[in-house]
Structures are given as C-alpha cells and as structure tokens.
Amino acid sequence: MRDLKEAIRNFVLGLGVDDVGFASVDDYRSPRSPSIESLFPGARSMIVMAFHELSACESPSPQLAMNARLDLMEFTRPACYRVARYVETRLGSPAVAVPVSYPMDFATPQKIGVGEVSLRHAAIAAGLGSFGLHNIVVHPRFGTRVIFTAVLTQLELVSDPPPAQNPCTGCGLCVRACPAGALDVEGKTDMLKCLGNSQPYGMRTSIAFWSRFGEATPEEQKAMLQSPDYMSMYQAGFIGYQYFCFRCLAACPIGRSVRQDEFNVR
C-alpha cells in the first residue's frame, strides 16, 4: 500500500504538480454533493492534486490575474489526464478525472453551484488542508493560493492524515478583503454576491444584456454592440468563465513567504 502511494506520488510530482494527497472514498463527506458511487460505481479512492497559484493573483490588473489562473487551469488538464491514464494503464484500475470547475450541470436546479465532486471536501479528506474563515481550503505551505483537481480510482488507498493544525489563524483579513461582503456570514459564501463581483461578464450579465437588447431600438442596439460591456462579454464567450476577483485568496498571509526550494520545482 505504502509503495503504491509512493509510486503514484512520484508520478504526480514528476509532472510538476505541487502537492498530492490520497483519500479513501469513505472519508469524503460533502453533504450537498452527489455520492461518489453515483458518479463512478466501484470507486474506492481519490488522488487529489494541489496546484499553487503564482503571485499574479495579487496583480491590480484583473486581466493578468485571470491570465495566471487560465495558465494554471490549462496545466491541470494534461496533468489530470496523465494521472488518470497512468492509473488505468499502469495500475490496472479504471479512473475518472475531476475538473477544476467546468463542465458543470446547469440543467438540474438543485445542482446549481454544486460540482460533481466537491474538491474542497476531497482535499480535506486527503489531508491537503483545512477550511479557512473564507470557506476555502488553506494548504499548510501554499495557504489559500491553491486550486485542486482529483482522479477517482478503484484502488484501495488509505487517507492521508490531516495537517497537524489548521493553518488558518482566524485573522479575518480574507473576510474584510471581500468587496462584495460575500463572506460576512460565517461558514457560508453568498454565491450571488461573489459572482456579481468576481464574474462581471458571466451569465447574469449576458442575460441582462440580451434582455435589454431585445427591447432596444435599432440605434440603441447598434450602440450596445459597440459598448465595452459587449466586447468584454464577447471575450468571455470564447475564453470561458473568467474570475476578476482573487481578493479573499490573495489577502491570506499564509504561504506568502513560501520559498522556491519548498516547492516541487522542476
């Protein structure tokens, strides 16, 4: 068992992934998410990968901050695929990769804002961190500057232990940094408040724009199609979902002083 986990760990870290943890499906507890069995019958474990966000998340330019996230998300795809393929072809277990965020199910009303697998709960089950005051996971080394993906497997792997202590000190900087007040109620992120600020060119803006467009005169329509809002929505349409806010994530002091040699730098 230890050898199997070690072999997987070496493979994952060899891809340039920053950290990896293992969880038995039995230790994954996310009350609002579907059961893992309903997504992948026979699944026994999760390989959870942690990808460190670089300091561009602090940039005052939302374009550069978002670009860093896009780079990272693009890196997660081949990494996840290669781990899933390694599990299938070298270790003999079927494998299912879990994406950073999308695709999501928008057709089932109770699943709006609920991923197939909750990667925060998966990361916690795999010993990769603890919930912070901002309701996202704080990794002991990278702080909040970390995103996750996972690969579900039928391998019997025991869960890694949790961090010795919760890295979150409860300082409250993340909550105060949120310009939308989305974190004001402890233990709950107000999704609409967060989205209004963090995805200004997301679905809600698009619906409002096209509703106004339908009722506008031809001259108004022409002006609308030349407006900065339309250009930004058009850009979001081909780039994909874009976050223009990283404040709760960047405000957290944990992990800011991480040095190169503490990373899995290759």
Q: Give contact residues for ligand SF4 (rule: CB under 6 A).
A: 132-134, 138, 144, 168-174, 177-178, 180, 182-183, 189, 194, 197-198, 245, 247-248, 251-252, 254
> Is 250 an interacting residue with respect to ligand B12 (CB under 6 A)?
no
Closer CB to ligand B12, 103 or 161, in the complex: 103
Tokens of 184: 């004001």
- Binds 187, which of ligand SF4, ligand B12, none (CB < 5 to 8 A, cut-off by type)? ligand B12
Residue at shortest CB range from ligand B12: 115
- Binds 170, which of ligand SF4, ligand B12, none (CB < 5 to 8 A, cut-off by type)? ligand SF4
**Cβ pair 266, 13 in contact under 8 A:** no
Q: Which of residues 113-132 bind ligand B12 (CB under 6 A)?
A: 113-115, 117-120, 131
> Is 198 an interacting residue with respect to ligand B12 (CB under 6 A)?
yes
Instruction: Give the shortest CB-53-to-ligand SF4 separation in angstroms.
Output: 12
- Binds 115, which of ligand B12, ligand SF4, none (CB < 5 to 8 A, cut-off by type)? ligand B12
Residue 157: closest CA among 250, 13, 28: 28
Which residue in the set 136, 155, 157, 236 belongs to the binding site for ligand B12 (CB under 6 A)? Answer: 136
Closer CB to ligand SF4, 83 or 174, in the complex: 174
**Cβ pair 43, 141 in contact under 8 A:** no
Q: Which of residues 41-100 bind ligand B12 (CB under 6 A)?
A: 100
Which residue in the set 24, 67, 169, 189 belongs to the binding site for ligand B12 (CB under 6 A)? Answer: 189
Positions that interact with ligand B12 (CB under 6 A): 30, 32-33, 100-101, 113-115, 117-120, 131, 134-137, 144, 146-148, 183, 187-189, 191, 194-195, 198, 243, 245-246, 248-249
